[in-house]
Amino acid sequence: MSDQPDFSGIWRADFERSRLEIEVPSSTVIRIEHEEPAFVLTRTHAAGDVRDVFSVRLVTDGRETVSRKDSAEILTRCAWEGASLSFHSRILSGGTEATNVVVYKLSPDGGELVADETYQGPPKSYHNTWVLVRDERG
């Protein structure tokens, strides 16, 4: 039996409990499909009528995967750190490079997901702690 949790589900941001240094969207939903070692994450931020969607397919064994968003190339490694999943991304765009590290941890009862995010690079650096709750409708 594995100590590695299954992160699958639909997760909605609880902005009252999250600590965000970015402009707070009106809603954030993350859909995760996790069948070890495959990990598919689709994140949707909404602000008014504008939706920003990003989807990435990763493997949890530390191998690098390449994805694109707009003009950026994103090189990501996803690996277990105990019961947490750590994403290390390099974002290359227009001759600049940024890094984004996100550590995902599931609560013992499986009802809450915390994503600790540190972004370094243009246009600004920030640290966010996202608290997401499982959407039972999903």
> Within 13 Å of residue 95, how many CA atoms lie on the same side as its CB?
0
pTM of the model: 0.92
pLDDT per residue over 72-110, tens digit each? 999 999 999 999 999 999 999 999 999 999 999 999 999
CATH code at 9-134: 2.40.128.20
Residues pairing with 105 in the sheet = 114
Question: In this predicted structure, what is the pLDDT of residue 1?
Answer: 43
Planar angle of CA 114, 4, 18, nearest 5 degrees = 0
CA dihedral 25, 137, 42, 36 (to 10 degrees): 140
Tokens of 43: 């994140």
Mean pLDDT value across the chain: 95
Q: How far is CA 128 from CA 21, 55, 59, 93, 94, in A?
A: 6, 19, 24, 22, 25
127 contacts 20 by C-beta, under 8 angstroms = no
Residues pairing with 128 in the sheet = 117
**How big, in percent rounded to 5, are the helix, strand and coil portions of the chain?**
0, 65, 35
Domain boundaries, the chain: 9-134
Question: In this predicted structure, what is the pLDDT of residue 136?
Answer: 75
CA dist., res. 103 & res. 91, Å (int): 17
